[in-house]
Amino acid sequence: QKEVEQDPGPLSVPEGAIVSLNCTYSNSAFQYFMWYRQYSRKGPELLMYTYSSGNKEDGRFTAQVDKSSKYISLFIRDSQPSDSATYLCAMCSSGSARQLTFGSGTQLTVLP
């Protein structure tokens, strides 16, 4: 079993829809959680970073962490065609030299 599991998709939604992307993890030592967005043939770019359980909002994006269930989510409101990309969850523990463990990524397409 992988340490981090992520729905691979692909996921296709109409413009304006609310998108929910999810990851589960098994390592209770993970304390820092990130979502990266990766456009086709580009490097991943940081979208959201959270440390504690709860919600963090940034514009149309909300990151949610539930450490008790070992479950993290990314919500995208009012999705746009420009949101079409692969979304990767990533996480690490403290003192790990920032060694990130990534999910396999969810490919999202937002249709105009």
Footprint of other proteins on this chain (CB under 8 A)? 4, 6, 8, 32, 34, 36, 41-46, 49, 51, 88, 90, 92, 97-100, 102-105
Is 17 or 84 the residue whose CB approaches other proteins more closely? Answer: 84
Is 75 or 102 the residue whose CB approaches other proteins more closely? Answer: 102
Q: What letter represents residue 37's amino acid?
A: R
Tell me the closest approach of the beta carbon of residue 88 to other proteins, in angstroms. Answer: 6
Tell me the C-alpha distance between 78 and 94, whole Å: 34
CA 35 to chain centre: 4
Tell me the closest approach of the beta carbon of residue 85 to other proteins, in angstroms. Answer: 14
Residue 59: partners with Cβ closer than 8 Å, 6 or more residues away: none
